[in-house]
Amino acid sequence: MKPLLADRTLRPFLLLIVIVAAIWLLDGGQGRFFTAATAFSVLQQFATVGPIALGLGLTMIIREFDLSVGGMMSLAGCVAVLSGVGSPPLGIAAAVLAGGIAGLCQGGIMVRLRLGSIGVTLGGLLTFGGIAYVVTGNLSIAYPRMDIAMAVNQKILGVLSLRSLIALAAFLIAAFVMARTRIGRDVYAIGSDRRAALVAGVPVGRIVVGIFALSGMLAALGGSLLSYSLATASGVALTDALVPATAAAIIGGVSLTGGKGTPIGIIGGVLVLSLLRAGLNAIGTQPSVQDIVTGGVLLIVALADAPDLSRRLFAVQVYRKRAFG
Amino acid sequence: MTDQTARITWQLPLPHSRRGRVLVGIRLVAVLALVAIAIGTPGFLTAVSLFSLMNTMSFIGCVAVGMTFITLSGNILSFALGATLSVTAIVFVTAQPLGLAGAMLAAFVAGAVLTGVQGWVIGNFRANPIIVSMAALALITGVATFVSGGQGVYPEDATADVLKGRIFGNIPIPLAGFLVTIAIAQAVLSFTRFGRNLHMVGSNWRAALAAGIAPARTIVGAYVAAGLCTAFAGVLMAARYSSGDMSLGLGYDYSAISAVLVGGTAIQGGEGSAFRSLIGAFIIAVCQGLLVLHGFSTQVQYLAIGIIVLLVIMLQTLADEY
Amino acid sequence: MTAARLATEAITLEPLARQSAPATSMLSVANLSKSFGPIAALRDVSLDIAAGEIRGICGENGAGKSTLVKLLTGVYRPDGGSITVAGRPCIIATPRQAQELGIALVAQELSLCPDLSVEDNIWLGSLQVPFLHKKPELRRRAAEALVLLGAEHIALAAKVASLSMGERQLVEIARMLTRDARVLILDEPTATLSDVEIARIFAALLAVKREGRSIIYITHRLAEVYAICDRVTVLRNGELIATVELADVDRAGLIELMLGRPSDEMYPEETRDEGPPALVVESLTVPGGIADFSTIVRRGEILCIAGQVGSGATEIVTALAGLAHDATGRVAVDGRALILGSPLRAARRGIMFVSGDRAGEGVFRRLSIFDNLVATRLRDHAVFGFLRRGSLRTTAAALAKKIGIDRRRVRARADALSGGNQQKLAFGRCLDRGAGGILVMNEPTRGIDVGARAEIYRLMREFCAAGYALVLASSDLEEVLGVGDVVITLYRGRQVGRYRRGEATMHRIVADITHPVEAAT
């Protein structure tokens, strides 16, 4: 059991099993939950949060953080909806391109000016959000192609949809790159010890810029697909996407200290979160409970990753020893 | 020894003063440009117009002062201040049967506890402040919505209407409250032991620890101060809108951190002041006012703030890279 | 079993390798010079290292060893002189060029990523790795390199985080081998290793030597020079003093070559009587650092703890300052027990810490000189938490005067000061704290120029005169001898000797901290 738990990629999937079991028990065998419809809604949720969580997770693996994903997501939605009326794939391509350029700029600023990612992406978040507001005129703009909205959400094999398939494909490509290619190895090296990677000859600057470009592109992909499926885009997003995406990445085994975590693990993290939401919905709790659960999980993980936790625990032990023995 | 000395000499940067001068120059040019545009804009430089600008900034300003404490302490920002504002507003409205003072006290306690717990987690265990604040945002929003059932609360009597009025002749109470908050916060930062400790902890956590300054306690203090300022903003807003609900503080975290950074407080912590946040809030207000007078929409204002923040963050390297 | 004995055993297995006469020249350096401003870090150094030779390089701190390494690895460019690799004259302008020429450095701080596997680390950053990086061919070559080093027990799939320090060193060397390094430079590779691990490294180095590759071995530990090197080059003050066959020189002679300079007059005389004991330390232990250390420090006295990197001197002072959370042992300040592990508790009992790592844990660089000077004494100048600005100002002005910083500059930011002046700030912070003070210092003069050093030593005596007790951890032996009233020598976590002023000589101390086995005999 212990080696199973120690495997960061496997952990979210174990958690998944536990949650399924728990929901089954809570459900009391009424069959409210285990239907193809819930599976479909879990996967739709996965398609929404997944790409953003993946991009954010990749930036966390190199020990940075991309706060701008929320702003990028809403901006991309606007770009896709506005430019994709004639040809929907073109809209997505335009949005992803915009995301890539935006990420490239952010990464470039960080590497060139040696700035922390938090500050730069905070500026990026506000700027992208601002552009989205300007583009939409602070209104939600409708996407006139209902056929596309139907198409991306069309059920495939009962539980999947075009949207969730695209998200899944993004994850699988990322998983392959991270596990099998030199670039993936370099990414882990940078997150593990940036100085050592630099000394060993890893092109650190290029990879950092590339990861932020990728994060921008993934957020844009998620945002444009979401906008297509809702047939609307608006400038309001900001943290709405950021918190669940962060939680998913962290549950999925990505460490705040960098160098750890895999795309497959992040899939697990996103599924855990989506399943919790769907499960809590199905057994009839209020939506606010989902927030509480997400927040609680984030807090626990932040604590577990805190550098001084062990020191504090040690201090407690020493005091106990002194007091009682 | 010689080669170590040599290494130090080798790495000597450009004279610091020159970098500083470049930075001051850029800021000066920016402010002068702003002033020039302001003068060139008919109808802007009237007292009424400036006054109303500042008045609209007073709620954001109070939260920005709170955020200043967090940024100064080296913990960058909190995403949970907006939610804290909403909760304190709800608490204030709910507690109004206790009288004005009692209700305000309840709101202050609520604000201090909500952020103080985050400060404790961050200061004691050195947990990641961004993640903790995200967790707090989700928890506060979730619990508050759960408890209130997602409904806003409305006062049953007019206890809080006093806060809608004006004092000292013609100054609206929110603006007066904002200025008082700035004054108190600046006094705490400049003239108390806690304030100086906060600068040290934010400037260099390890050096503060090694020097025997309690970093954990100081960080808790910073978060409590942030909670108090936010709670004050919550009280003022609840009085102004005669209601309290979870949407009151939406987006206030971003506006607040923008004001803090535009004012020139360093994002790495240790350097800055409440007064700078006042300047930052003022600059943002002026920009917004100018954009409105020149016929730009509110949306363009959002974008402008975003770009200003990005530029300010990029400018900080000029001062800090050596 | 000691390092030396294990090492000699390793060597006796390979007597032939040691005796084979060096033939061709692998790396040749002629009249290499480098200065930084007015300071000459390296003057006219000429070396000739043969293929298959292990060359030791010795010298005190600041002798120019690390400058030489940086010139050879392309970090610095020389002011004059030439470098020839395998008969071809070349210019090494960047680290990449050094790599292409086959010159590889194993630095004290390893460049391994702990979250990556051994195999990935070996190939990290290599230009030979294709896009799909997991190739059987590469795995085979990595395994071969490990086998050559006698490290076949290290699994290629294991995470580097799970390896011991010695194993990591071997992985780093294996990486250099796969990059076809012809000249391997090792900078103090054994500083943090255990005896067994040192023996392993030595065996690996001899295997590398047998391949006909050359090794430059930089160390403070003379025992290791004798155990593994063919010849040794001694540097002093940036100049090459001698290159000798180890058979021709004994330990005493080598130490003579390393020191050989009169100590200057920068150390003020002690002026004190036997004071009362201020600090009593009993069986202080920091896991992985220092074992069972006991001592007494009296008021008005400077205790110097001398030791090289990895000796445990740093751990002693950081533990006393409360910065080592896993330190155990009994410490009493003025007869009252102090519980270790909290810098706050230590500070409250009057223990103040001055670190050589000024930027990291010494000075608040973004704050003003004023703020830095009064940082720790705000409590004394506050009424109900409110500071009395006037009295703080006078205090800061008085302190600035004492440490020799112009009082008109106290509003300037601390990072506008030179390193020496920054360090004086850290000392100034500790001045005038009543008679109860204990000052613990870790390499306080690291990277500081001579003038500022003299002032810092003067300040230390001032502390003594004010009744402070001082504990100083240092690897700068001249400093240790110059300022120490009592000198304790450490070797790898254990105390070797304890001397009063006058009893200790440079030879004695060098012997203790480099090779205590011989010193005992």
pLDDT at B321 over 70: no
What's the rounded mean pLDDT across residues C183-210? 86
DSSP string, C451-467: HHHHHHHHHHHHHHHTT
pLDDT at B197 over 90: yes
Highest mean pLDDT among B108-122, C6-20, C75-89: B108-122
**DSSP label of C373:** H
Q: How far apart are CA C295 and CA C301, in angstroms?
A: 13
Q: Mean pLDDT, chain A, as a whole number?
A: 87
Measure CB to CB from residue C237 to each of B2, B4, B17 and give the nearest one. Answer: B2
Burial class (CB in 10 A: 0-12, 13-18, 19+), B72: buried
Contacts of C110 in chain A (CB under 8 A): 196
Contacts of B2 in chain C (CB under 8 A): 39-41, 62, 64, 237-238
The chain B residue lying nearest A126, using CA atoms, is: B306
User: Does ipTM surpass 0.90 in this model?
Assistant: no
Measure CB to CB from residue A299 to each of B132, B254, B299 and give the nearest one. Answer: B132
pLDDT at B44 over 80: no
Q: How far apart are CA A163 and CA A151, in angstroms?
A: 9
* B213/C41 touch (CB, cutoff 8 Å), yes or no: no
What's the rounded mean pLDDT across residues C225-249? 89
Highest mean pLDDT among A110-114, A274-278, B84-88, C199-203: B84-88
The chain A residue lying nearest B300, using CA atoms, is: A134
What's the rounded mean pLDDT across residues C282-295? 91
Contacts of A62 in chain C (CB under 8 A): none
The answer, for A188 touching chain C at a CB cutoff of 8 Å, is yes
Confidence of residue C266 (pLDDT cuts 50, 70, 90): low
The answer, for C361 touching chain B at a CB cutoff of 8 Å, is yes
Phi and psi at residue B92, to the nearest 5°: -60, -45
* A130/B306 touch (CB, cutoff 8 Å), yes or no: yes
Q: Distance of alpha carbon C192 from its chain centroid, rounded?
A: 11
At residue A321, the pLDDT reads 52
What's the rounded mean pLDDT across residues A168-197? 94
Q: Mean pLDDT, chain C, as a whole number?
A: 84
What's the rounded mean pLDDT across residues C383-409? 87
The answer, for C429 touching chain B at a CB cutoff of 8 Å, is yes
Confidence of residue C6 (pLDDT cuts 50, 70, 90): very low
Higher pLDDT, A237 or A6: A6
* C341/A315 touch (CB, cutoff 8 Å), yes or no: yes
Which chains touch B (3+ CB pairs under 8 A)? A, C
**Core vs surface per residue A273-310: b (16+ CB within 10 A) or e:** bbbbbbbbbbeeeeebbbbbbbbebbbebbbebbebee
Neighbour tally for C464: CB within 10 Å: 23
Answer yes or no: are the C-beta atoms of C343 and C321 closer than 8 Å.
yes
Range of the domain at A302: 4-324
**DSSP label of C280:** E
Q: How far apart are CA A252 and CA C306, in angstroms?
A: 48
> How many CB pairs below 8 Å do chains B and C form together?
132
User: What would the pLDDT profile of C361-392 be if each residue is shown by its tens digit?
Assistant: 889 988 899 999 998 888 888 888 899 888 99
**Core vs surface per residue C394-411: b (16+ CB within 10 A) or e:** ebbeebbebbebeeeebe
Confidence of residue B122 (pLDDT cuts 50, 70, 90): very high
Q: Which of A99-103, B58-62, C407-411 has the lowest mean pLDDT?
A: C407-411
What's the rounded mean pLDDT across residues A287-299? 88
User: What would the pLDDT profile of A120-150 be if each residue is shown by its tens digit?
Assistant: 999 999 899 889 888 887 778 888 888 888 8
Taking only residues 129 to 158 of chain A, the set having a beta carbon closer than 8 angstroms to any beta carbon of chain B reads 129-131, 133-134, 136-138
Nearest one of A261, A201, A194 to C123, comparing CA atoms = A201
* A299/B125 touch (CB, cutoff 8 Å), yes or no: no
> How many CB pairs below 8 Å do chains A and C form together?
76
Answer yes or no: are the C-beta atoms of B267 and B261 closer than 8 Å.
yes
The answer, for C107 touching chain A at a CB cutoff of 8 Å, is yes
* A201/C125 touch (CB, cutoff 8 Å), yes or no: yes
pLDDT at C16 over 80: no
Report the first-to-last Cα separation within chain A, whole angstroms.
34
Answer yes or no: are the C-beta atoms of C116 and C159 closer than 8 Å.
yes
Q: How far apart are CA A211 and CA A195, in angstroms?
A: 18
Residue in this structure with the two tokens 């993640």, named with its chain if needed: B131
Structure tokens at C277: 């004991």
Q: Which of B289-293, C15-19, C258-262 has the lowest mean pLDDT?
A: C15-19
Measure CB to CB from residue B3 to each of C67, C343, C346 and give the nearest one. Answer: C67
pLDDT at C259 over 80: no
What's the rounded mean pLDDT across residues A229-236? 82
Contacts of C343 in chain A (CB under 8 A): none
Angle in degrees, CA B108, B111, B113, rounded to 5: 105
Report the first-to-last Cα separation within chain C, whole angstroms.
16
What's the rounded mean pLDDT across residues A237-262? 85
Q: How far apart are CA A214 and CA A218, in angstroms?
A: 6
What's the rounded mean pLDDT across residues C244-257? 83
* B210/C344 touch (CB, cutoff 8 Å), yes or no: no
Structure tokens at A115: 């700035």
Taking only residues 441 to 480 of chain C, the set having a beta carbon closer than 8 angstroms to any beta carbon of chain B reads 445-450, 476
User: What would the pLDDT profile of B168-178 be if each residue is shown by its tens digit?
Assistant: 777 888 889 99
Nearest one of A60, A209, C366 to B316, comparing CA atoms = C366
Contacts of A296 in chain B (CB under 8 A): 135, 139
At residue B2, the pLDDT reads 34
Contacts of B144 in chain A (CB under 8 A): 288
The three-state (H, E, C) secondary structure of chain A, written as one string: CHHHHHCCCCHHHHHHHHHHHHHHHHHCCCCCCCCHHHHHHHHHHHHHHHHHHHHHHHHHHCCCCCCCHHHHHHHHHHHHHHHCCCCHHHHHHHHHHHHHHHHHHHHHHHHHHCCCHHHHHHHHHHHHHHHHHHHHCCCCEECCCHHHHHHHHCEECCCEEHHHHHHHHHHHHHHHHHHHEHHHHHHHHHHHCHHHHHHHCCCHHHHHHHHHHHHHHHHHHHHHHHHHHHCEECCCCCHHHHHHHHHHHHHCCCCCCCCCCCHHHHHHHHHHHHHHHHHHHHCCCCHHHHHHHHHHHHHHHHHHCCCCHHHHHHHHHHHHHHHHC
pLDDT at B1 over 50: no
At residue C402, the pLDDT reads 87
Taking only residues 311 to 340 of chain C, the set having a beta carbon closer than 8 angstroms to any beta carbon of chain A reads 325-326, 339
* A127/B303 touch (CB, cutoff 8 Å), yes or no: yes
**DSSP label of C268:** P
* B196/C344 touch (CB, cutoff 8 Å), yes or no: no
Q: Report the CATH number that the domain containing residue A112 is assigned in CATH.
A: 1.10.3470
Structure tokens at B196: 């100086």
What's the rounded mean pLDDT across residues C319-333? 91
Q: Which of A28-42, A61-75, A311-325, C139-153 has the lowest mean pLDDT?
A: A311-325
Nearest one of A274, A265, A305 to A7, comparing CA atoms = A265
Total domain count for chain A? 1
The answer, for B17 touching chain A at a CB cutoff of 8 Å, is no
The chain C residue lying nearest A195, using CA atoms, is: C111
At residue A310, the pLDDT reads 72
Tell me the shortest Cα–Cα distance from B161 to chain A, in angstroms: 31
Nearest one of A313, A249, A323, A309 to A69, comparing CA atoms = A249
The answer, for B213 touching chain C at a CB cutoff of 8 Å, is yes
Interface test with C, best of A62, A192, A204, A316 (most C CBs within 10 A): A192
What's the rounded mean pLDDT across residues A248-269? 92
Neighbour tally for C517: CB within 10 Å: 14
Burial class (CB in 10 A: 0-12, 13-18, 19+), C432: middle
Alpha helices (runs of H) in C404-434, residue ranges in sequence order = 419-428
Q: How far apart are CA C220 and CA C476, in angstroms?
A: 12
Q: How far apart are CA A155 and CA C98, in angstroms?
A: 59
- Listed in sequence order, the residues at least 6 apart from A267 whose beta carbon sits closer than 8 Å to its beta carbon are A12, A46, A50, A168, A171, A252
Q: Distance of alpha carbon C66 from its chain centroid, rounded?
A: 11
At residue C415, the pLDDT reads 81
Taking only residues 91 to 130 of chain B, the set having a beta carbon closer than 8 angstroms to any beta carbon of chain A reads 121, 124-128, 130
Measure CB to CB from residue C113 to each of A181, A189, A315 and give the nearest one. Answer: A189
Taking only residues 105 to 134 of chain A, the set having a beta carbon closer than 8 angstroms to any beta carbon of chain B reads 109, 113-116, 118-120, 122-131, 133-134
Tell me the shortest Cα–Cα distance from B23 to chain C, in angstroms: 15
Report the first-to-last Cα separation within chain B, whole angstroms.
23
Taking only residues 125 to 184 of chain B, the set having a beta carbon closer than 8 angstroms to any beta carbon of chain A reads 125-128, 130-132, 134-146, 150
- Listed in sequence order, the residues at least 6 apart from B31 whose beta carbon sits closer than 8 Å to its beta carbon are B283
- As a whole-number percent, the residues of chain B with pLDDT over 90 amount to 47
The chain A residue lying nearest B129, using CA atoms, is: A302
Higher pLDDT, A306 or B203: B203
At residue A237, the pLDDT reads 55
The answer, for A259 touching chain C at a CB cutoff of 8 Å, is yes
Answer yes or no: are the C-beta atoms of C276 and C327 closer than 8 Å.
no
Q: Mean pLDDT, chain B, as a whole number?
A: 85
The torsion region of residue A264 among left (phi > 0), alpha (psi -120 to 50) and beta comes to alpha
Contacts of B298 in chain A (CB under 8 A): 133, 138
The answer, for C75 touching chain A at a CB cutoff of 8 Å, is no
User: What would the pLDDT profile of C111-147 be if each residue is shown by its tens digit?
Assistant: 899 999 999 999 998 888 888 888 899 999 999 999 9
Phi and psi at residue C218, to the nearest 5°: -100, 125
Tell me the shortest Cα–Cα distance from B78 to chain A, in angstroms: 12
Tell me the shortest Cα–Cα distance from C270 to chain A, in angstroms: 40
Phi and psi at residue C103, to the nearest 5°: -100, 120
Q: How far apart are CA C372 and CA C361, in angstroms?
A: 12
At residue C435, the pLDDT reads 63
User: What would the pLDDT profile of C151-189 be if each residue is shown by its tens digit?
Assistant: 889 999 999 999 988 899 999 999 988 988 899 999 888
- As a whole-number percent, the residues of chain C with pLDDT over 70 amount to 91
> Residue B172 forms beta bridges with which residues?
B166
Tell me the shortest Cα–Cα distance from A58 to chain C, in angstroms: 15
Structure tokens at A108: 């470039």
pTM of the model: 0.87
Structure tokens at B189: 């930062």
At residue C515, the pLDDT reads 67
- As a whole-number percent, the residues of chain C with pLDDT over 90 amount to 31
